[in-house]
Amino acid sequence: MIKIGILNKGPKFNWGKNFGYWYFVKYFQNELKDSGFDIKFYDSQNSKYYNSDIIIIDSRLFTDTTENKLRKKLDLNVKYKHLENLIKISKLNQNIIWLDLTDSSGTTSFEVLPYVKKYVKKQFYKDKNLYKENFFRGRYYADYYQKKFHLEENYKFEFCSLLEEYENKLVLGWNIGVGNYFDIFNFHKLKKYQCIINSLYRNNHKELFKYTLGYHNNPIKSQDIFYRFNLRNNDKKKAIHFQRNQVNKILSDRFNLPFERLSHKSYLNQLRNCKVSVGAFGWGEICYREFEAIKMGAAIIYPNVDYIETWPNIYKDNFSYISYKLDFSDLLDKIELLLNDNHLRANIVENSQSICKNVYLSEGFNYLLNFFNNISK
């Protein structure tokens, strides 16, 4: 039996902590134990955690600290402090799995590679040679927009190249699509907190699955298109947010939809009643909105991401989504194509929902089992 300790800090009674990224593991926890992996979650770095055969560390435990935020403001080297802490931990347990949960494929912490057993990330560039290039703001797409439109001046990104000797340490994990949302359509909000308590103290994760948001596929749609972004027009990081702002401008000029603040339930209702949901990158290539749209039965149009690998992979062009070019030149044409082709749209919805449903079936368990076998080698 291989004991794996996972450090899962955060507010104890938070839905995301209990039903988000790690719920996927909790759901199959008993099956994994039957397969030789005893997985335990810890709220703190105690002796039991360090005595595990393998420990998984979330990169955000270092980068999101109050101390690091202060060091950034003072323009001090955050990554140096980051390594200092990791080296201390490696003296207690050398079998460290570094879990990089940053949003973009290009934002990495490869400086930790000499000190960890494996380096896990939600998504990677398919071509690992791209990790030898210092892209603007650490992102392939931000670099593209910076070179094309000259959006920013005088910015230097801290960059650590991937050395070939460490490439075999890279392991693909899973993305935010495995997370679950509370079913606000069928259950009272009070049930949400009952689910969290049950998750914390009763270990009945499979039973609680029925309270998560299900899949919708309403054949009658009252709205053609849905697009709604958190816009950052005044943000200094213009190259990162350019795509989202530009897509909003193009679609606002073409469709002139009202932009009002919505409750979460109203937001999901709009997604459920639209034929097509148009997305754009945020801080990274993968966003919650696309998975919400799939749950609600909308066909998704999204920037081309054929340069990344991820799981679950909903980004199969003309199968589970329709892509548009980074320069937006075919965006309106792709929208018209999807709006006018009922058969294609239905197939996109069916295929994307099937990919997501399989996460909690045998395909998902097998993926997870292979993952734990891989990081244990």
Average pLDDT over residues 104-128: 96
- What distance in Å separates the CA atoms of residue 341 and residue 118, rounded to the nearest whole number? 45
pLDDT at residue 80, rounded to an integer? 60
Classified as helix, coil or strand, 297 is coil
Classified as helix, coil or strand, 76 is coil
Say which range, 39-48, 137-146, 310-319, has the weakest mean pLDDT. Answer: 39-48
- Average model confidence (pLDDT) for the chain? 91
Confidence of residue 71 (pLDDT cuts 50, 70, 90): very low
Average pLDDT over residues 280-298: 96
The fraction of the chain above a pLDDT of 70, given in percent, is 94
Asked whether the predicted pLDDT for residue 62 surpasses 80, the reply is: no
Asked whether the predicted pLDDT for residue 30 surpasses 80, the reply is: yes
Asked whether the predicted pLDDT for residue 281 surpasses 70, the reply is: yes
Domains of the chain as residue ranges with CATH: 2-178+361-376 (3.40.50), 215-359 (3.40.50.2000)
Asked whether the predicted pLDDT for residue 200 surpasses 80, the reply is: yes
> In whole angstroms, how large is the CA radius of gyration of the chain?
21
Of the candidates 238, 231, 248, the one whose C-alpha atom is nearest the C-alpha of residue 145 is 238
Q: Please, are residues 225 and 275 in contact by the beta-carbon 8 Å criterion?
A: yes
How crowded is residue 198: how many other Cβ atoms within 10 Å of its Cβ?
Answer: 16
Q: Which two tokens stand for residue 4?
A: 């794996």
pLDDT at residue 44, rounded to an integer? 85
Query: Per residue in 316-354, pLDDT tens?
Result: 999 999 999 999 999 999 999 999 999 999 999 999 999
Q: Please, are residues 218 and 296 in contact by the beta-carbon 8 Å criterion?
A: no
pLDDT at residue 215, rounded to an integer? 96
Average pLDDT over residues 295-313: 97
Query: Per residue in 33-52, pLDDT tens?
Result: 999 999 999 988 899 999 99
Burial class (CB in 10 A: 0-12, 13-18, 19+), 301: buried
Confidence of residue 275 (pLDDT cuts 50, 70, 90): very high
Confidence of residue 64 (pLDDT cuts 50, 70, 90): low
Confidence of residue 234 (pLDDT cuts 50, 70, 90): low
Per the listing, tokens 């000499």 go with 114
Average pLDDT over residues 160-189: 95
Asked whether the predicted pLDDT for residue 79 surpasses 60, the reply is: no
The fraction of the chain above a pLDDT of 90, given in percent, is 72
Per DSSP bridges, beta strands 308-310 and 123-125 are antiparallel
pTM of the model: 0.92
How crowded is residue 31: how many other Cβ atoms within 10 Å of its Cβ?
Answer: 14
- What distance in Å separates the CA atoms of residue 372 and residue 256, rounded to the nearest whole number? 49
User: Is the Cα torsion angle 62, 38, 181, 123 positive or negative in sign?
Assistant: positive
